Chains A and B, each alone.
Chain A
Amino acid sequence: MGQETQGHSLAVDIGGTFTDVVLRLADGRCFTDKTLTTHRDLAEGFFRAVELALGRAGLAAGAVDGVLVHATTLVTNAVIERRGPRTAFITTEGFADVLLIRNEHRYDMFDPLIEFPPPLMGPADTFTLRERMLADGTVMTAPDLEAAAALGLRLAREGFAAAAICFINGYRNGAHEVAVRDAMRALAPSLSVSISSEVSPQIREWPRASTTAINAYTQPIVQPYLAGLAEGLATRGFPHAPLIMLSNGGVVGTPTAGRLPVRMIESGPAAGALAAAHLSHVLGLPKLLSFDMGGTTAKACLILDSAPLISGEFEVDRRYRYKPGSGFPLTIPSIDMIEIGSGGGSIAHVDGLGLLKVGPKSAGSEPGPVCYGRGGAQPTVTDADVVLGLLDPARFLGGDMALDADAARAALGALGARLGVDALGAARGVYQVVCEQMAAAARAHATDRGVDWRGLPMLAFGGAGPVHAARVAELLDCRQVVFPAMASVLSAFGTLVSPVRLDLARSALARLDGLDWDAVQALIGAMRAEGEAALAEAGVAPGAAQFDLAADARYVGQQNEVTFDVAALDATTIRAAFESAYHALYGLTLPDVAVEMVSWRIVARGPEPRGAAVPPPAGGSVAPRAHRMVGLDGAAEWPVFDRAALPVGARIAGPAIVEERETTIVLPRGWNATVHASGAVVGERA
């Protein structure tokens, strides 16, 4: 049945703070709820959320005859909080320190005080075996399987729960890794073993070892969790097994997720991007820039052809939160997102050059912005928004949390004194600078991927997204911003519109002009078989599976690859596709230089879920609820609307404010908005 959405479907997204649930009935009606995440036992919050939603709809578990989809931060948290069990790292003799040596690079050129996260497995948990595979996949030294078995026994005896095996050139031929795993497990059956040739068969030993290590480290947590979930659901009478959201924006069954837990690492944000992709389809905007601004960071993601961009790499546990290179590299397919330290809590200050800077330091939620009145003393983006009149201090979070506007004004006044402007001038400056930062990050992200950012429509969500989106849009020459409905549970909603999908990649370095096509066919066939099995496990009928082939290639002599779709397995087609992708990225091609294939990629996916339209909100009047002074561009009275009261088709002319519980939409002068049938508010610039 896969992701058919004809029945009643349920989605649960466990985030750092809240566990969100969306129950969508066959007729398209949705019931949503939130409950606090129960970190000690995530399943507790999971089932509480499920019961809340069922209770609201008055449904029994047995009635959930559509899909049941789950996204979770379990894996990320296990890594960041080092909550995994004792895990061994096993590699080729002579290469014990591959996790410690990394690539020898410093991620910050000038800072002499940088640090790296210590590997999950230190020297005391690292073991080597004598074996050697050559780069062409032939055996130089076979592994000593008696030594492997003895190591397995020793690990079990010393209380290791898991082991990661990554041998040099294991990406090319995994036979030694398989043999050692089997020998170890014959004597230590309780040991959970991950091997690099299955987890991430890609060239470059450090990222592959790092990926395998994290897979092994999290598996003893994830497998019992998923098994418990499946069992709990079955006991409660749910008809179907759950599907699990992966970082690539696809869902798979629990056996595949349990085998490759490292693939779940960006589960939640991936679901958000999937929701954005779905909305891009519903709204007829196939190209979109998804823009999610929260309390500490802003994330941007490109949607092309109503699908999010996927990248083959990810990094977790960045030591310096936003510095690439300061964390563990993972070669897993994941939604390609940029995250920068610009959020509502970002602190504004004047630097040594007299320039106004915002972030990346954040006041977070504790103590939070000055206006929260919890001891925060440095002015933040949210404080500037309050001073500008964009946020109503009496109605923040629906009025549950009163904001101290006077304190915010005083803090911005002090900041302004250093710039020679008043509080309002400083607040305008903070607003402008943070919007410029986000626009610059989005431009760089798009430019790096060969996408023309000019004029891309935007989708804005997150608590601070709709407050700043219109200004960011102007800086990106964009004329249209969509503010979706159900923004606060967008990720959970996203899982319901995710296809069953598994991305696979294998490296096989070879020049295109001398390619062994039989070997390529065999490699692709093996990936297809693995993908087909994972799809079948998630309920996709064999005939319904689709396979998209792509490849990574470069000019001979280069080191970085370009990924492109492969329509047919012949050298001319592949060269043309490579050069077209290369030209889009870099504005040139080199016809005289040979092309080298690096990796082959397959996306195995089930049918796209048939998304029922999001139901429109109840109708209501379009008269403003109130007016208030807004100082964004000169001080003026702006009308204020309640989003919940806006009927489909309602039109609002900017400048205006549209308030909802979790966020506020700011429509500056020159913008108009219409309420779309999906419930989304669509802002347009004249």
Chain B
Amino acid sequence: MDGIELEILWSNLISTVSDQARALQRIAFSPIVREAGDLATALFDRQGRMVAQAVTGTPGHINSLAAAGQHFVQRFPPDTLSPGDVLITNDPWLSAGHFFDITIMTPVFRGARCIGFFGSTIHHTDIGGYGVGAGARDVHEEGLWIPLAKLHEAGRPNELLHDIIRRNVRTPDHVMGDLSAQIAAGRVGAERLNALCDRAGLADIESLSDNVLRRSEEATRNSIRALPAGTWHGESTFDVPGGTRITLKAAVTVDNVAGELTIDFAGSSPEAPIGINVVLNYTAAYANFAVRASLDPDLPNNWGSLRPVRVIAPEGSIVNCRYPAPVNARHVVGMYVPFPILKALAHILPDRVPAEGSGAVWTIQIQGRDEADRPFTSSMFNYSGGMGARRMKPGLSATCYPTGVAAVPVEVLEAAMPILFTRKELRRGSGGAGAQPGGDGQCIGYRLLTASPWLLNAVASRTDLGPDGLDGGGGGAPGRFLINGAPVNEARKMLMQPTDEVLMETPGGGGYGSAGETP
């Protein structure tokens, strides 16, 4: 297969998964999916190797789906499947790291033979248990655990499993609606793959997949081979709700002969007693994000390109947690995973690596009663701080990084629930000083128009330790989370009074280079 034919077939595979990802994102009930693109879609071959993946909004999903593919084919070998089968799981350790993320795999049949799978993961509106937040003490408190299973068998729904899901979530219509959308996406993805095989005269995608994966692996190895050999270290410390400080250490080793990169998180903090623990899949997903952004954003994302990057972490550490550690809010730590890696890579790729940024977005969910005393639960919404400066450019203010979440507009939130925003402005001067200054965080003030007490479920981080600057740049200001002017630091839902006012000041990003010097 030459570089012309392969380009044509490959780009067709990618548009198949991308089209379905866009459709899923538009119709999802889950706010984190539609605003943040917190979903993934991918095509797998018969061996469960991920061949093509849509570029979506969050690094955490990109690539954790790749691991799931392998587990599905081990449990359900392709030749044991029938047309009309649909597979499901939300096992945190086998897929995307917490119960909210449900993965659906649809086998693609060409005639009577399964030639691959169309997979999608989306973050659902609810999964029972604790709900949004980090407050559970073990994973079982966090909701419904769906093992690797068949949601449909030969076109017939698995009624028992459907009933179990319906009975165990708070928003059954939305969860079933989003599952239907995932199944529809799998059906359309399978049709598109068959149409491509028809156009190109392919009986299956085995040889195409081999070519795609081999070239992706080689290109990734080549870009690693361009780096100097050696081991570099990076370390990032930040505080999480409740005040605990977490340290992540990364040792990045470049083998520029084999073209391999090893990222070792030895020395990182141990598992936490609250639901901020990260499974290794999810750690690897964010680690690969840092690698790809630094090496070459144009590298593909598939089983082949993931092979040369090895991510290891001690079992029982916060970035490789064991059953039954709670994992619900694993993004709080996961979104910091890139930073120690970037700090290590700054030694060899100073032009491509930003200074430390504010890190995890701050998430908020509100439950209460409106003026007519009707109960409501808001969807989760989020705000970002400042990005770290780049060597030749300042950091972006109030911009989400490393994840790709959009903020829900003030007007949309005010129309949806009795919330009143008093401020949403940049927090000037919060970005670190430097030859290139860090991006500023922002100040968000709000209260509720209600006569009843309400519950605030907010996850803030870096309210104690701001991000570091790079190469002599100043650090960004830590965030501030205030209720009626007094700082709070709480990992659990808080009971609020009707007149309480909340002010959230998100952290600024780190600066790059000493202030006063021109880069």
Using a CB–CB cutoff of 8 Å, the interface residues on chain A facing chain B are 94-98, 100-106, 108-116, 134-135, 140, 168-169, 171, 203-206, 350-357, 418-421, 425, 428-429, 432-433, 436-437, 440, 443-444, 447-448, 475, 509, 555, 557-560, 582, 585-588, 590, 592-593
Contacts and interface: CB of A to CB of B under 8 A. Distances in A.
B447 to A, nearest CB: 12
Contacts of B12: 436, 440
A157 B289 CA distance: 52
A213 B59 CA distance: 34
A587 B184 contact: yes
A511 to B, nearest CB: 12
Contact of B8 (A419, A433, A582): A433
Given A444-B15, A509-B415, A355 B406 contact: no
B292 A354 contact: no
6 contacts: A109-B59, A112-B352, A169-B411, A356-B4, A560-B34, A586-B184
A228 B470 CA distance: 56
A114 to B, nearest CB: 8
A105 B2 CA distance: 38
B10 A94 contact: no
A108 to B, nearest CB: 7
A204 B35 CA distance: 13
Contacts of A97: 398, 424-426, 442
A592 B404 contact: no
B409 A205 contact: yes
Contacts of A418: 3
B16 to A, nearest CB: 10
Contacts of B177: 555, 590, 593
Contacts of B353: 112
A440 B11 contact: yes
A100 B397 contact: yes
B322 interface: no
Given A95-B410, A113-B393, A169-B414, A354 B297 contact: no
Contacts of B184: 586-588
A62 B488 CA distance: 77
A470 to B, nearest CB: 16
* From A419, A557, A590, residue with most partner B Cβ within 10 Å: A557
Given A105-B406, A169-B411, A558-B28, A113 B390 contact: yes
B28 to A, nearest CB: 7
B407 A103 contact: yes
Contact of A103 (B62, B406, B414): B406
A560 B28 CA distance: 9
A383 to B, nearest CB: 16
Nearest to B445: A94
B228 to A, nearest CB: 19
A453 to B, nearest CB: 11
B4 A429 contact: yes
Interface of B: 2-4, 6-8, 10-12, 15, 18-19, 22-23, 26-29, 31, 34-35, 55-57, 59, 62, 125, 171, 173-174, 177, 180-181, 184, 187-188, 199, 215-216, 218-219, 222-223, 289, 292-294, 296-300, 352-354, 379, 383-384, 390, 392-393, 396-401, 404-412, 414-416, 420-426, 442, 445, 449
A419 B5 CA distance: 11
A531 B112 CA distance: 58
A353 B299 CA distance: 9
Given A116-B396, A204-B412, A448-B22, A110 B293 contact: yes
B422 to A, nearest CB: 6
Contacts of B404: 105-106, 109
A586 B412 contact: no
A587 B12 CA distance: 21
A590 B297 contact: no
Given A97-B425, A509-B415, A586-B23, 13 more contacts: A96-B425, A101-B397, A105-B406, A106-B400, A106-B404, A168-B421, A169-B411, A355-B10, A356-B3, A447-B23, A559-B35, A590-B173, A593-B177
Contact of A94 (B18, B297, B407, B421): B421
Contact of B407 (A104, A421, A440): A104
A206 B445 contact: no
B411 A593 contact: no
B383 A104 contact: yes
Contacts of A475: 199
Given A559-B34, A593-B173, A586 B125 contact: no
Given A444-B15, A560-B27, A354 B414 contact: no
Contacts of B218: 353
A386 B471 CA distance: 52
B6 to A, nearest CB: 6
A421 B425 CA distance: 58
* From B397, B407, B410, residue with most partner A Cβ within 10 Å: B410
Contact of B223 (A352, A432, A447, A555): A352
A79 to B, nearest CB: 21
B180 A590 contact: yes
Nearest to A421: B2
Contacts of A116: 396
Contacts of B216: 353
Contacts of A134: 414, 420, 449
Nearest to B7: A355
A279 B49 CA distance: 48
Contacts of B406: 103-105
Contacts of A432: 4, 8
A563 to B, nearest CB: 12
**Those 8 A-B pairs whose CB atoms lie nearest each other, nearest first:** A110-B297, A429-B4, A135-B414, A105-B406, A94-B423, A355-B7, A104-B407, A103-B406
B426 A171 contact: no
A558 B181 CA distance: 13
Contacts of A114: 396
A168 B23 contact: no
Contacts of B296: 352
A111 B414 contact: no
A171 B411 contact: yes
B411 A168 contact: yes
Contacts of A585: 23, 26-27
B209 to A, nearest CB: 15
Contacts of B442: 97, 101
A17 to B, nearest CB: 32
A205 B445 CA distance: 16
A104 B297 contact: no
Contacts of A444: 15, 18-19, 22
Contacts of B4: 356, 419, 421, 425, 428-429, 432-433
A356 B7 contact: yes
A448 B19 contact: yes
Given A104-B384, A134-B414, A354-B3, A440 B23 contact: no
Given A94-B425, A354-B215, A421-B2, A557 B29 contact: yes
A440 B15 CA distance: 7
Given A95-B425, A97-B442, A421-B2, A204 B354 contact: no
B293 A111 contact: yes
Nearest to A108: B297
A560 B406 CA distance: 14
A475 to B, nearest CB: 8
A353 B7 CA distance: 10
Contacts of A447: 19, 23
Contacts of A204: 409, 411-412
B196 to A, nearest CB: 11
B508 to A, nearest CB: 14
Nearest to A135: B414
Contacts of B399: 102, 104-106
A104 B405 contact: yes
B409 A352 contact: no
Contacts of B293: 110-112
Contacts of A110: 55, 289, 292-293, 297
Nearest to A557: B29
Contacts of B420: 134, 140
